[in-house]
Structure 1
């Protein structure tokens, strides 16, 4: 069964996409979200094969009319993908979509003969977790230094490493944080709701940019607000948005991406196929978050790092807990995760420093780690009651908690381990005058002698020199 938090996030993302009916998939485990009634196919001959095969399947076995299967989009997108409607999106509930499942089954034999996948769900790509970061941000006092702290390095625009962050937009007063003085990009479209409360995910991109700048001050950071809406976007649109992000300012040295989705497969996302092929021909290194589902299921695009044809161009990053010795409870894991970095209770800039801003928690903490770990993790502490939890509760247990942000925050997730690693690669490039980010990645991993334990496996651990471990509190034994 999907945890309560996943159901809460489903509601949050559905509100951000009011015109897109969503379902959970592939079953009650709810590994991903997807658009109901629609499948994706490559344009041209493959789209025609999909339409004809699905139409025949449904008219023969499901009693639908022949014109029920049709193009849902009049034109293909930049990624060469088209949406094909295969059923009434109003049918069924959030637990699944029989029309889409039937369409996928209808194409299995055809795909086997073709030797590659022809059809896919239209997945929701979101900020990396059960559709959300590892936890919600917690205010940190302005007297506390960022963690990782700022490295001793001078910014030089002529040698600065280009880092592109594809995420939510920058807070309007982000430049009041000195480390972000050289950062550029898109502003968050709407920071607060009508009551002046920070909206969920606001500050995510600013927090990430602050981490990159702390680990590698000699970076030219650009932030794009591709994931401005609740940190989520449909797969059909995502490939196009990535093309748009990298081409607005030219392909960067490093692309830091803290979003993705599982899809129940081991061959990637159909909607990203064109972008990933283009990435292979460039010198850009994609550093991607492994996701926060505490799962070994491949999470894309991070899991492209385990496919031989993309191993040189993608680095997948998992999260270590606050002491840096073991994996964080929420971090995805498995052989497709190629490096781990601190990702629990990091400290960076959430908002600018001009005016304090209130935030109301969306999720309640749990009485115990929702992933079964035996330390006081971000699932449990610090305690708070959230809006979405209260809305789902049959009997409300208390008023949602409100806090005030005035600059710094603690936040957890592979979302944040990822820019730490992006920064370490950029710092290596500066220190060794290396101009190729893929070579720098290889050199950095080869020179690292540090390891951590994740689910019984010893894995490469990248801990920046300015990062300070935070002691972990074990759970008290039962009385």
Structure 2
């Protein structure tokens, strides 16, 4: 992927997490960027944590001259994730000790026959550190896309969907499709100047898509990732458990967040939750990410592991015409299904009052991933506040007004399309098992698309319509 936006977002997330020293993971043509906590590794509780701690302490004392106190566990273990944070050195000193620690542990891992340690990754919503685009205002006279499906809401028979994202905007119930949506409101939608914060409305937009595709659905939105849409892996597993403890295990979890890693391994911080998920009937529908890469994006990539393929569906995004993948969408055999995810229309705010938004990223002259169609990299033309070199040119960031609806792109939004279709299948056929509903839905899918030479399964809601061709030269 083109790294410019990733670096812009790194700065944005670091400002939102001022007490956490963040670092950039390795990047090359085959591996997507990721963020992680500097100077910290994660290990499983118990004997494995002790092995990691002792190995790292011995290595750094012998090779780096660090005193033993530089390697220590950060506080007692207090949650069900089964993970211990081990601090290595002082991250304020400038040198990141994590890569050295990982190399020192390879021999111990070889002896144990399994991975013992991992970075403490930043898990982010899937338009955050891998952004596709930013929302575009849509007149409230324009219908949502997907449009509302036929059917009525019945609390007793409705499927239960839990959305873990940013919270709901305070006036979300002014949007008719969200009249019965419940959950957390987002604590700070706007900044001190009354300007909409970046990614405010992300969870609301997702809930609007779900309600349109599956009207007979109880949607609960939890404000799991309020700080710049990002959370540390060590905290994320605990927040997942908190959500299902508070609301009960739902039929479906819609998750538009994740991270890549350095290799093909999953996230140590999510292992306990994923094992618990596997034993339930809940289906996790997860975004494949927007790096335009085949690098696995977790937890969506658990769909590619035999032990989790029944409990996870990974979702890629189709282009606006629905015929091929969107330029930004991740891909590969671990991505199980593709759905519309470019230029969808849903609720960003309620209808209480218009609210301004200042663009954070600039558009590109050509697709940053090398595609030749009129993609979201180029449309609509605008200058962003975070863009490198903007101040030297004197260009002012573009500001727009949102009055309810927005058009937005990303695997973030293809995900609730699939979650909604599974929920709609459950209520239409009185299916009690969401995984069985998923299987029958995919088995009945008639659409296919070609993605990087492979024919992939495609799900399109009956009420979805291709977006019109746009002129990239037209400004916001």
Question: Would you say the 8 A contact 2:170–2:185 is kept in 1?
Answer: yes
1:211-240 C-alpha deviation (Å, 9 max, x unpaired): 000000000000000011110000000000
1:102 equivalenced with 2:64 (yes/no): no
> Is residue 410 of structure 2 the alignment partner of residue 408 of structure 1?
no
Deviation at 1:399, TM superposition (A): 0.6
Shift of 1:75: 2.9
Shift of 1:130: 5.8
SS at match of 1:261: strand
* Paired residue secondary structure (1:352): coil
Aligned to 2:460: 463
Deviations 1:8-51 (A, max 9, x none): 00010001100101000024666200000110111111111000
5 Å matches for 1:270-349? Answer: 270-349=268-347
Q: Secondary structure at the match of 1:121?
A: strand
Q: Residues of 2 paired with 1:344 and 1:389: CA distance?
A: 23
* In 2: Cα distance, 1:27 partner to 1:215 partner: 37
Distance, in Å, in 2 between the alignment partners of 1:178 and 1:393 is 40
Alignment pair present for 1:432 and 2:433: no
Cα distance per residue 1:391-425 (max 9 Å; x no partner): x5461341111000010000000000000000000
Counterpart in 2 of 1:86?
88
Q: Give the secondary-structure state (helix, strand or coil) at the position aligned to 1:149.
A: coil
- TM-score normalised per structure 2: 0.96
> What corresponds to 2:21 in structure 1?
21
What's the CA shift string for 1:333-390, capped at 9, x where partnerless? 0000000000000000000011110101111111111111101111111011111015
- Give yes or no for contact 2:130–2:289 (8 Å, CA) kept in 1: no
Structure 1 equivalent of residue 216 of structure 2: 218
Task: Report the counterpart of residue 51 of structure 2 in structure 1.
Answer: 49
Q: What is the distance in 2 between the residues matched to 1:229 and 1:314?
A: 26
Q: Does the CA-based 8 Å contact 2:128-2:229 persist in structure 1?
A: no
* Alignment match, 1:445: 442
How far apart are residue 115 of structure 1 and its match? 2.0
Partner of 1:176: 174
CA distance in 1, matches of 2:334, 2:304: 5
The Cα RMSD (Å) is: 1.6
Is there any run of 5+ residues in structure 1 with no aligned partner, and where? none
2:54 alignment partner, SS class: helix
Matched, 1:189 2:167: no
Distance in structure 1 (CA, Å) of the matches to 2:186 and 2:421: 26
**Contact 1:375/1:474, CA 8 A, preserved across alignment:** no
User: Which of the numbers 37, 40, 55 marks the counterpart of 2:39?
Assistant: 37
How many angstroms apart in 2 are the aligned matches of 1:445 and 1:30?
29
Unpaired runs of at least 5, structure 2: none
| Segment of structure 1 superposing worse, 407-416 or 23-32 | 23-32
Displacement of 1:5 in angstroms is 0.6
Q: Does 1:261 align with 2:263?
A: no
Conserved? CA contact 2:183–2:222, under 8 Å: yes
Distance 1:13 1:71 in 2: 25
Normalising by structure 1, what TM-score? 0.96
CA–CA separation in structure 1 for the residues paired with 2:32 and 2:163 = 28
Residue 416 of structure 2 corresponds to residue 419 of structure 1: yes
Q: CA deviation at 1:132?
A: 4.7
**Quick check: 2:161–2:251 contact (8 Å CA) kept in 1?**
yes
| 1:27-176 matched pairs, under 5 angstroms | 27=27, 31-92=33-94, 97=96, 99-129=97-127, 131-176=129-174
Give the aligned length.
471
Confirm or deny: 8 A CA contact 1:318 1:414 kept in the other structure.
yes
Distance 1:314 1:66 in 2: 42
Q: Equivalent residue of 2:121, what SS? A: strand
Counterpart in the other structure of 1:381: 379
CA distance in 2, matches of 1:6, 1:310: 30
Contact 1:360/1:387 (<8 A) preserved = yes
